[in-house]
Each structure stands twice: as C-alpha cells, then as structure tokens.
Amino acid sequence: MKTTKTVFSLLLCGILFISATAWITASKDKLGTNPTKPTKPAPKVQRLLYVATPGIRNYLGYGGHGIQVFDIDNNHKFVKFIKIPGGLLRKDMPSPTGSSKKGVPSNVKGVDVSLAYNCIYISTLEAIQCIDLVTEKTLWEKEYEGGVDRISISPDGKIIYAPSLEKAHWNVVDAKTGDVITKIVTNSGSHNTIYGPDGKEVYLAGLKSTMLNVADTKTHTVSRQVGPFSADIRPFTVNGSQTLVYVNVNGLLGFEVADLVTGKFLHRVVVEGWNMGEVKRHGCPSHGIGLTPDEKELWLCDGHNYRLHIFDNTVMPPVQKTTIALKDMPGWITFSLDGKYAYPATGEVIDVKTRKIVANLEDQDHNDVQSEKMVEIHFSGGKPVAAGDQFGLGQVKKVTKN
C-alpha cells in the first residue's frame, strides 16, 4: 500500500513540475524575455544590367573589352567590370599598339542568358563564349564554321541557335557544352535570331532574304516562311503570343508587319515628319525595333536623325505618337523586364512613362558606355533567378478559353 502511494506521489510531482515549467516558459515569451527566434528574411533581389562590349562594332571607346554591370535600382550606377580573358580577338586585324599578335578585341554580336546553367553567353564574329554568372569564370569558348552572329537561347536555357556570320546556315548548339547538335541551311545570309517565347519555334532572319524562316525546335528544320517583305530583313521583334512580327527592312525609315500564323504580309508603316538620310553604321535607316513588355507601344530607331520614334501598338497598323532625341545614333532598343525603362544602344536610360532620359550608362571612370548587346539579370542570394532578353519582345501571352 505504501509503495502504491509513493508511486502516485512521484507521478503527481512530475506532472506539477512539467506544468510549472510550461507556465514559466509561456510567461517569459509573453514578457519578451524568451522571444521566439525570428524567421530569416528572404534575400533581396538585385536587378542588374549586363552590357557586353565592344558592342558598337569593335570600338573600345564605348566600354572596353568585357562586361559592364549596372544597378538598375540605384539609378543604373556602375557596379563592376567583368574582364573577358583570352579569346574573342579579331585575327584579321592588327592591334593599334602592335601589342597583340591576335589583334584587337572582336565585335560582340549577341548576348543571352541560361538560368538552367547559370551562364551568360557572348557571341562574336568567330565564336561563342560561356561565362559562369556566379564565379565569373569562362567555362568554354568555341569557334564555329562560318563565324557567329546574334545568338538566341531557348526559354529553358539549354539550346542555342547560332547564325553563321551572314552566311548559309545556323548552328544548333548545346548550351552546356558548346557542341553542335545540327545545322540548318537557309542560304539567306544568316543574321538575327529570335527563339519564340513558347520554345516551339525559332525565327531566322537573313540579310539576303525578304522571307523570314521559321524553324521547328523538335526537328530543328525550317517548317515554313513568313513574307515576303519589301526588302531584305534587318532587326525584328515578335509579340508574346507569337502571332505578329515587326520587321526593319533596308531602305525604310519605319517598319513592316506580318502575320506569323498565316505567313502573310500585313502593313508597311513609314515614319512621318522626318527625312531619311545617311547613317553611320548598318546602312539601314531604322536598325532597331522593340515592343514594350505590355505591347502597348512600339519603339523604333532612327539612325540618321538620332531619334526614337514611338508608336501606339493598340491599333493596327500602329500609329505614330511622339519622338525622343538621343545623343548618338541608336542601333538597337530593348526594355527592362518590368517595362519601366527603355535601353537604346546609345547608353541613355529612358523612363517609358515620362519619356525622360533619367540616366546615362557610365563606366567606373565616368566614360560613356554604349552597346547594342545588353541583358537584364536578377540575382537572389548571389544566384541568377530571372533574366530578360536582348530583343524588345512582347510579353503578353494569348489568352485561351476553356
């Protein structure tokens, strides 16, 4: 009997001790003497603009040889310069100082990003270079038959379509290794390339053709053509639903529009109130065209008048609205992912809503940085988590009814 009472007493004491401990702990929490450990806040997303140079021909005076990086959320201030070691040097031109047997840095022709492999890719006249965005080390650099022009990468970041330099074909390249998967021959003077946002088609524009070739990404073969346009195709862009293409062509201060679904030519739009004259580069009056991400406006480069002409794209054909004066000849135009900023190749940063120039890209020594090859990249916790595109592509996807 005594043993039973002893066990019962011990159990009761234990229960009272546990209850008292819980009460004391709870009281401390309420008083703040033993606060719950706060959760770690999510890393802040850093939005950076990567500008590849020399992005105006092979002119080193517009940013040197490498990648200039700017902080979008800090008035596009200079962040760092990533040197590009080794190759990407023109072998057909002597160095101005005679210091390099390989010659001066080669023209940068294109830039793109793979989030799958955390890499940025730079194409030049001869090669593609793959650079790790975290370590900033060059992983590989490969030259390709016929050279390389403006590349474009698949939405999943695994396949690169690499045009030869105004020659007969495109190389389809494994983005991880740089190996050629296959070749697409068009005999069109391969030049500008846009991988469709849905990843199913790639648009292949040649300098020697009035037709836009469309490649099927399952077979890596040309499946159809769009056009003809009034002259050979230069820079172009597409809307997010991949139903319309807006094209610069030789001999036109303006642009043309075609239906990507039917392949039929739709409209020719000429810039009003401005004369078409000589240009410093490209030999094309309008070299550079882009849609704002919401597709409400189309922005067009004017090389002779140093202007950007803005069109209302909510009507078809688009209607001319206004113009913005620039400090130099624009040869390209793209936009920030959120659509707030426009980036012409002149290095000026334009507020899309107010039309005001709000910043100028400058290097660490306050020299102007200009380039036709730039891309926005977002970082979180030191790793890339989102990327834009060198082309001013529309971002409005087609709404399908159930």
306: CATH: 2.130.10.10
Distance CA 151, CA 179 (A): 15
pLDDT at 32: 47
Min mean pLDDT across 94-103, 193-202, 297-306 is at 94-103
Is 40 part of a structural domain of the chain?
A: no
The residues pairing with 120 across neighbouring beta strands, listed in sequence order, are: 113, 131
Do the domain assignments include residue 332? yes
Residue 19 lies in a domain: no
- Of residues 128 and 88, more confidence is placed in 128
Top pLDDT among 4 and 191 is at 191
- Would 402 be classed as within a structural domain? no
For the cut 90, the answer to whether the pLDDT of residue 15 exceeds it is: no
- For residue 289, the SS3 value is strand
Residue-level pLDDT at 398: 73
Average pLDDT over residues 280-299: 98
CB atoms within 10 A of CB 266: 13
When pLDDT is averaged across residues 193-220 and rounded to a whole number, the result is: 98
In angstroms, what CA-CA distances link 370 with 360, 363, 377, 393?
9, 10, 18, 21
Q: Binning pLDDT at 50, 70 and 90, where does residue 104 land?
A: confident
pLDDT at 100 over 60: no
Whether 56 shows a pLDDT value over 90: the answer reads yes
Distances (CA, A) of 247 to 5, 237, 354: 95, 7, 26
Q: How many independent structural domains does the chain possess?
A: 1
Give the structural domain span for 218. Answer: 46-387
Residue 360 lies in a domain: yes
Spatial distance between the Cα atoms of 326 and 347, rounded to a whole number of angstroms: 10
pLDDT score of 36: 56
Residue 143 lies in a domain: yes
Average pLDDT estimate for 285-306:
98
Q: How does DSSP classify residue 387?
A: E
Task: Choose from 2-6, 81-85, 257-261 the range with maximum mean pLDDT.
Answer: 257-261
What is the per-residue pLDDT for 29? 45
Whether residue 24 lies inside any domain: the answer is: no
Strand positions, DSSP E, 210-346: 212-216, 221-226, 233-238, 244-249, 254-259, 265-270, 289-291, 297-302, 307-312, 319-325, 333-335, 341-344
**40 falls in which pLDDT band (50, 70, 90)?**
low
Query: Where in 88-177 does DSSP place strands (E)?
Result: 108-114, 119-124, 127-132, 138-143, 152-153, 159-163, 169-174
Instruction: List all residues 6 or more positions away from 220 whose beta carbon is below 8 Å from its beta carbon.
Output: 172, 181, 182, 184
Q: What is the pLDDT of residue 218?
A: 98
* Maximum average pLDDT range among 84-93, 96-105, 267-276, 393-402: 267-276
In a domain, 68, yes or no: yes
SS3 of residue 356 by DSSP: coil
